[in-house]
Amino acid sequence: MSSGPPLLPSTAYRIADLAAREEEVLRIAEKHAADRQHTRGKLTARERIDLLVDPGSFYELDRFARHRCTDFDMDAQRPYGDGVVTGQATVDGRPVCLFSQDFTVLGGSMGEVFGEKVLKVMDLAMRIGCPVIGINDSGGARIQEGVVSLAYYAELGRRNVLASGVVPQISLVMGPCAGGAVYTPALTDFVVMVDDIAHMFVTGPEVVAAVTGENVSAGELGSAEVNSEVSGNVHYRATDERDALDWVRTLLGFLPANNLDECPVYASAAHDRTDTANTEDALTPTDLALDHLIPDSPHQGYDMGRLIRAVVDDGEFLAVQERFAPNIICGFGRVEGRTVGVVANQPLHLAGVIDIDASEKAGRFVRFCDAFGIPLLTLVDVPGYLPGVEQERAGIIRRGAKLIYAYAEATVPKVTLAVRKAYGGGYAVMGSKHLGADVNLAWPTAEIAVMGAEAAVTILHRRRLRATDEAEREAVRRRFVEDYRRRFATPYAAADRGYVDRVIRPATSRIEVARAFRMLRDKRQETPARKHGNIPL
Ligand code: HXC
């Protein structure tokens, strides 16, 4: 006698059959997955989802989907889910769509059904207007399914592009991510990678050795460290999976669900009063400390992070790409409970100069903020673009143009505060009035000029200095420097022309910035209709 289903199954049989299938997915397969993943020091696809989303909120789709491949005896084994768990859930009560690749099923590789599931959940995210989160742990294109797998990677890339600027897209890399599969995370807005368990490269060590003869380890090619500090592919390097998921939850708290939605608004703490008529009354000790932030010597650095934390609510700031191009800081904070994107030069690294990496990092960040209606706060202390053969040959002209493009294109409220150097091209690009900033503030310590005094005097007075008696030359040079400083190394030449709207005492920065953003809350700016611009790539 066959032990298959009865010819006319009863309702009770069918319900029991569903329970058995669920048992297969949620208990038996999950136990197998946990055994395999835990020995590798990794969580399962479902455990990762559970850690990310609100308890009980996960609404799984396509739990029983299975591949249809018959090559390579694939029909002998048709696991439920096909190597990816997909669905919708909430994080802090707000909807997200997600997919989590299951390395324990066919190496988490992408075949036709896997691809269909991921596309379906991305399409759902676009229809309901919520972020998409992808957890990557996969051997890439499913070898047994051949070109069909490749087709789905390309389809996925197309969805990433269609979703870009419509819903936030976040990738977590928690295992292997190699070959063309890397381009799915690369097309998303934020990539988080976990130390030790994750690798990301286009070609692995064996191919590199075969093609170029170089012997490198997987870590040297594409560890979380390399991707977050050297290549800049990754926005946050997490110490472990929990840290990665925590970071994503924090990030989501700053973002709108989609490009037509508002960012979540939080109540400002009482000690962060900004809506007072008498500014002096509202100054906190942190505000007052800003009066001493700028050292008297122009050659001395200081931590721009102190100003950022003093201006944003509760000193809470989420840095993005913190370890890549640290000469520019990008990240999210809140002002009066509302998200702002902060871009700031960091004088502690390369004196806060703009190099290629800094331009690309900040350019992409500015474009993200603009796409999702997040106002921009720019804090300026920049000696200019980085000179040198290496930068010129690597394309600082083309690649440095990206930041100009991004600022000029952005129509969100833009508030800029110059605190010290704002020299040359650096002045122009860092949220200047001329690129469309709405409110430009400056501290009295701001030096808005073509270049610093020493360099200017060397160029302007070279001939006169050469003609001066050597014994007197230094004294004459000093006088020229002092004269230049008095006349140009101030915010007042720019304020004369309205390039700076207000020169403010440093201690009032938090209140001034809040007032400016409050004033701009309903800003609307139209741009001419066009298919799209052509940012220098
Ligand atoms: C089918 C795969 C697979 C794949 C892994 N597996 N990758 N099955 N297609 N691409 C299976 C293995 O056969 C194995 O099955 C299980 O997953 C675990 O793999 P292991 O090799 O045992 O694990 P590990 O030693 O940790 O090595 C992981 C790995 C390695 C580094 C990812 O499996 C690997 O190199 N895989 C191939 C990677 C690759 O070249 N992918 C194509 C990239 S090109 P069993 O049954 O033994 O457990 C690409 C094109 C995209 O993705 C195009 C975009 C446009």
Q: 2: pLDDT confidence band, cut at 50, 70 and 90?
A: low
Would residue 140 be called left, alpha or beta, if left means φ above 0 and alpha means ψ between -120 and 50 degrees? left
- Do 489 and 452 form a contact (C-beta atoms < 8 A)? yes
Count of CA atoms in the C-beta half-sphere (13 A) of 222: 21
- Ligand 1 atom 32: residue of nearest CA: 139
| Per-residue pLDDT at 270 exceeds 70 | no
- CA 87 – CA 95 distance, rounded (Å): 11
CA neighbor of 357 nearest in space, from 316, 385, 315: 385
Measured CA to CA in angstroms, residue 432 lies from 246, 403, 416, 470 at distances of: 35, 12, 7, 41
231 three-state secondary structure: coil
> What is the crossing angle of helices 396-409 and 356-371, to 10°?
20
Residue to probe by mutation, ligand 1, list 143, 150, 155, 174, most atoms within 8 Å of CB:
143
CA neighbor of 134 nearest in space, from 168, 170, 83: 170
pLDDT for the residue numbered 503:
98
Count of CA atoms in the C-beta half-sphere (13 A) of 315: 10
Q: Which ligand 1 atom minimizes the distance to the CA of 150?
A: 53
40 three-state secondary structure: coil
Contact residues for 188 (Cβ-Cβ < 8 A; gap 6+)? 132, 134, 160, 169, 170, 171
pLDDT tens for residues 84-95?
Answer: 999 999 999 999
- Do 368 and 191 form a contact (C-beta atoms < 8 A)? no
- Ligand 1 atom 44: residue of nearest CA: 179
Q: Phi and psi dihedrals of 311, rounded to 5? A: -90, -35
- Ligand 1 atom 37: residue of nearest CA: 139
Distance 107 CA to ligand 1 centre (A): 5
Distance 388 CA to ligand 1 centre (A): 43
- CA 138 – CA 198 distance, rounded (Å): 10
Q: 383: pLDDT confidence band, cut at 50, 70 and 90?
A: very high
Distance of CA 289 to the CA centre of its chain: 30
Q: Can you name the residues that pair with 193 across neighbouring β-strands?
A: 173, 237
Count of C-beta atoms within a 10 Å radius of residue 111: 24
Distance 101 CA to ligand 1 centre (A): 13
pLDDT for the residue numbered 238:
98
pLDDT tens for residues 300-331?
Answer: 999 999 999 999 999 999 999 999 999 999 99
356 three-state secondary structure: helix
Q: Which ligand 1 atom minimizes the distance to the CA of 176?
A: 32
Q: What does the angle CA 28 – CA 32 – CA 36 come to, to the nearest 5 degrees?
A: 165
pLDDT tens for residues 455-478?
Answer: 899 999 999 999 999 999 999 999
pLDDT tens for residues 399-420?
Answer: 999 999 999 999 999 999 999 9
The structure tokens 């440093």 sit at 506
- Do 333 and 301 form a contact (C-beta atoms < 8 A)? no
Query: Which residues form ligand 1's pocket by a CB distance below 6 Å?
Result: 106-107, 109, 139-144, 150, 153-154, 176, 178-181
| Per-residue pLDDT at 278 exceeds 80 | no
pTM over 0.80: yes
| Per-residue pLDDT at 260 exceeds 90 | yes
pLDDT tens for residues 351-360?
Answer: 999 999 999 9
CA neighbor of 134 nearest in space, from 165, 168, 93, 161: 168
Rg (CA), the chain: 28
Q: 273: pLDDT confidence band, cut at 50, 70 and 90?
A: low
Q: What tokens does 215 get? A: 């012997």
pLDDT for the residue numbered 5:
81
DSSP assigned state of 182: G
- Do 241 and 51 form a contact (C-beta atoms < 8 A)? yes
pLDDT tens for residues 133-156?
Answer: 999 999 999 999 999 999 999 999
| Per-residue pLDDT at 367 exceeds 80 | yes
pLDDT tens for residues 111-131?
Answer: 999 999 999 999 999 999 999
DSSP assigned state of 262: P
Residue to probe by mutation, ligand 1, list 105, 106, 114, 159, most atoms within 8 Å of CB:
106
Rounded percentage of the chain residues whose pLDDT exceeds 90: 91
The DSSP bridge pattern shows strands 439-442 and 414-423 to be parallel
CA neighbor of 199 nearest in space, from 140, 257, 275, 278: 140
Q: Is 54 exposed, middle or buried (0-12, 13-18, 19+ CB in 10 A)?
A: middle
Distance 138 CA to ligand 1 centre (A): 7
The mean pLDDT value for 481-507 works out to: 95
| Per-residue pLDDT at 106 exceeds 60 | yes
Q: Can you name the residues that pair with 344 across neighbouring β-strands?
A: 329, 379
Distance 178 CA to ligand 1 centre (A): 9
The amino acid sitting at 298 is P
Distance 321 CA to ligand 1 centre (A): 29
Share the mean pLDDT of the chain: 95
Give the H or E element holding residue 88: strand 84-91
Rounded percentage of the chain residues whose pLDDT exceeds 70: 98
- CA 338 – CA 263 distance, rounded (Å): 7
Q: What tokens does 334 get? A: 């809140």
Q: H-type helices in 255-395, by residue range?
A: 279-282, 285-289, 304-311, 356-371, 389-394
Q: 27: pLDDT confidence band, cut at 50, 70 and 90?
A: very high
Distance 231 CA to ligand 1 centre (A): 24
The DSSP bridge pattern shows strands 176-178 and 414-423 to be unpaired
Query: Roughly how many angstroms between the first and final C-alpha of the chain, as a whole number?
Result: 68
